[in-house]
Chains A and B, each alone.
Chain A
Amino acid sequence: MARRKGLVINDEQMQMIDGVLTKLQRVAGSAFVALISTSGQPITTAPADVDADTLSLAALAAGSFAATRQLAEVLNEREFSLLFHEGQESNLHVMQVTEQILLLITFGRDTQVGRVRLYTTRAVEVLKPLFEDAEDSDEGGARTIDTDYSREAGAAIDDWFPGESDK
């Protein structure tokens, strides 16, 4: 079975990735750092606990990054790789890591933008090869999503939201 290009992240990769993010969060003076997929799904964050709003944040940041990139293309601006949002209290940076991965970082008004740019650019250089590996090897994922998983997930979907389906 030919598989579509997916993204599978294993423990070892995640440890390295989390290490980079935690360090970035510290040295850049950031409140929150996240890696998300260009399709809008969160991968990991620093600090670590993901709440429901992180899901919205990922969907919106990916959406607005994609839109801005298209905008740049319309304007014949080929080298677009950064989205910057300046707010009242905090700033948001979104940077492209690979075709499938974005890095999102927030920081306060008192943090120098130059400092954040410098460290995120470095972090992206370190992260890039880690994800290129993840995009190449789909093996782990293929093994995890097996017929057992499929059967159990199918049963869970049958029992999902009882009382709603017979409408």
Chain B
Amino acid sequence: MALINLAAREINYKIVYYGCGLCGKTTNIQYIHRRVNPGARGRLVSIATEEERTLYFDFLPLSLGTVKGLRTRFHLYTVPGQSFYNASRKLVLQGVDGVVFVADSQISRLDENVDSYLNLWDNLMEQDEDPSHLGIVLQMNKRDLGSIFSVTDLTELLNHTGSPVIEACALTGVGVFETLKTVCKQVIAKSART
């Protein structure tokens, strides 16, 4: 649900970073926050536990500037990954326009990735959204580590929609902005009247 305010000449899109616990969602948002100049972003808000695990969400608003007279913003959110936080994930997904599914490429994290992917689609279906209207990107994170899946294997498991796939190392920023731009472009394209 993009929020279009014709009176204020504003449009806001909501992007959610989804994925299992510790896959690197918060790291993506923190990297973006660090690298973007303060004029183009708002405050980074994190509702986290004392051990810095996401409890509810992280939130970062980004401004694209004015496009055809409309001030265009993207609101980035992350969800808590641990399976017992599903109620919170559903709340954060409300009104979503685009999803970045962050996969942890490590072979040892196979089950967690698959569970989280299935959970995403359960929650989207439950929202009564037609997922074909969502922008979706699959980010394969932690490509810097040793025992990881091949891109082909992960794509087969976690990308039944045939969405764009981006390899990343969120810790150093590789692929972070490419992921962001790709999902934002998709969201814009999907919201336009065809």
Q: Which residues of A contact B (CB under 8 A)?
A: 1-11, 13-15, 37-41, 43-44, 52-53, 55-56, 59-60, 63, 66-67, 70, 100, 140-150, 152-154, 156-158, 160-161, 164-165, 167
Taking Cβ atoms with an 8 Å cutoff, the residues of B that contact A are: 1-8, 11-12, 14, 35-36, 40, 42-43, 45, 47, 56-57, 59, 61, 64-65, 67-68, 70, 72-73, 75, 77, 87-88, 91-92, 94-96, 129-130, 133, 172-178, 181, 184-185, 188-189, 191-194
Are B57's CB and A11's CB within 8 A?
no
Write out the residue numbers on chain A whose beta carbons fall within 8 Å of the beta carbon of B189: 150, 154
Let me know if A145 and B6 touch, CB within 8 A. no
Contact present for B45 and A145 (CB under 8 Å): no
Given contacts A63-B57, A154-B188, contact A144 B95 (CB under 8 A): no
Residues in B with CB closer than 8 Å to A149 are: 67-68, 70, 188, 192
Q: How far is the CA of A13 from the CA of B68 in the complex (A)?
A: 22
- CB of A41 within 8 A of CB of B14, answer yes
Q: B7 touching A15 by the CB < 8 A rule?
A: yes
Known contacts A7-B1, A7-B4, A67-B88; is-contact A143 B193 (Cβ 8 Å): yes
- Name the 4 nearest CB pairs between A and B, nearest first: A39-B95, A14-B7, A150-B192, A52-B42
Contact B12 A167 (CB under 8 A): no
Beyond A55-B42, A141-B6, A149-B67, 12 additional pairs, beta carbon < 8 A: A6-B3, A9-B5, A14-B6, A37-B3, A66-B91, A144-B6, A144-B70, A153-B188, A157-B184, A164-B176, A164-B177, A167-B176
Q: Interface SS of chain B: helix, strand, loop or mixed?
A: mixed
Residues of B contacting A38 in the complex (Cβ-Cβ under 8 angstroms): 94-95
Complex contacts, A53 vs chain B, CB 8 Å: 42-43
A3 CA to B63 CA, complexed, in Å: 25
Nearest Cβ in chain B — how far from A147, in angstroms?
6
What residue in chain B is nearest A65 (Cβ atoms)?
B91
- The complex places the Cα of A63 from the Cα of B5 at a distance, in Å, of 21
Contacts of B57 in A (CB 8 A): 59, 63
Contacts of A55 in B (CB 8 A): 42-43, 61, 73, 75
**Least distance between A163 CB and chain B CB atoms (Å):** 9
Known: A39-B14, A52-B61, A157-B185. A6 touches B43 (CB 8 A): no
Minimum CB–CB distance for A114 against chain B, Å: 31
Q: Are B35 and A161 in contact (CB under 8 A)?
A: yes
Q: How far is the CB of B30 from chain A (nearest CB, A)?
A: 14
Chain B residues positioned under 8 Å from A8 (CB to CB): 4, 6
From A15, A56, A67, A150, residue with most partner B Cβ within 10 Å: A150
Task: Knowing A56-B42, A59-B75, A150-B188 are in contact, say whether A9-B7 is a contact too (CB < 8 A).
Answer: yes
A100 to chain B, nearest CB (A): 7
B185 to chain A, nearest CB (A): 5
